Amino acid sequence: MATVSIDVFRGFEEEQDSQPQLHRISSVRRQQGVSLRSAARATGTDIRQLRLQEQETTDLRISDLHKWGKALDVPVTELLEECNEPLSRPVMERARMVKLMKTTMAILERSEEAGIRRMAEMMVEQLVEVMPELKDVGPWHNYGQRRSLDELGVAADRRMSFEALEHSCSAE
């Protein structure tokens, strides 16, 4: 029976930590304000697979990089450049404009005051005038920040009594 010392595992961990960063899809996706769900629809790939592909050390096929580039509306080169360098100026400006349009559309959609709605409509018109491809951008989603898989929801912290559970089951 073979045994393995802890030093071997430490060496292995260090080796994994030093894997080269192959892309920066995750940071570009966040900067562009694209959710994993939207990226999944755009690429035709399920969210679990996209999470794996987003890991900086994942070696992707060129076809997958092209799907990501199309979903994020950035050139593939923006996904491959060194992570220490910021995105190119045109891509950063586009990301900012998309976020601004999403916020404006959310104000327009949720506002009940006529004056605020009119200002939001004017802002939408002005943004589309500056960048015509923004005309199809929708508002931010109605729900709040999504939890990561590591976080537990409030429901996990609550204790439910057996009587309450019995009552909810009998109500069905």
Instruction: Read off the pLDDT of residues 30-48 as tens digits, 9 standing for 90 and up.
Output: 888 888 898 899 899 999 9
Instruction: Report how far residue 149's alpha carbon sits from residue 146's, in angstroms, rounded to the nearest whole number.
Output: 9
Token representation of residue 163? 């009587």
- Residue 162 counted as domain residue: no
Q: Are residues 130 and 97 in the same domain?
A: yes
Q: Are residues 93 and 71 in the same domain?
A: no
Residues in the chain where the model's pLDDT stays below 70: 1-18, 81-87, 142-172
Within the chain, where are the H helices? 6-17, 25-32, 36-43, 47-54, 62-72, 76-80, 89-110, 114-130, 154-157, 162-171
pLDDT score for 142: 64
Burial class (CB in 10 A: 0-12, 13-18, 19+), 53: buried
- Residue 52 counted as domain residue: yes
pLDDT score for 9: 43
Token representation of residue 49? 């697979």
- Residue 5 counted as domain residue: no
Domain span including residue 110: 88-141
- Count: domains in the chain: 2
pLDDT score for 107: 92
Q: Are residues 78 and 53 in the same domain?
A: yes
Q: Are residues 67 and 95 in the same domain?
A: no
136 DSSP 8-state letter: G
**Residue closest to 111 by CA, chosen among 103, 125, 136, 101:** 103
Q: Are residues 105 and 63 in the same domain?
A: no
Instruction: Report how far residue 22's alpha carbon sits from residue 9's, in angstroms, rounded to the nearest whole number.
Output: 24
pLDDT score for 80: 80
- Residue 147 counted as domain residue: no
Instruction: Read off the pLDDT of residues 17-30 as tens digits, 9 standing for 90 and up.
Output: 567 778 888 888 88
pLDDT score for 127: 92
Instruction: Report how far residue 39's alpha carbon sits from residue 45's, in angstroms, rounded to the nearest whole number.
Output: 8
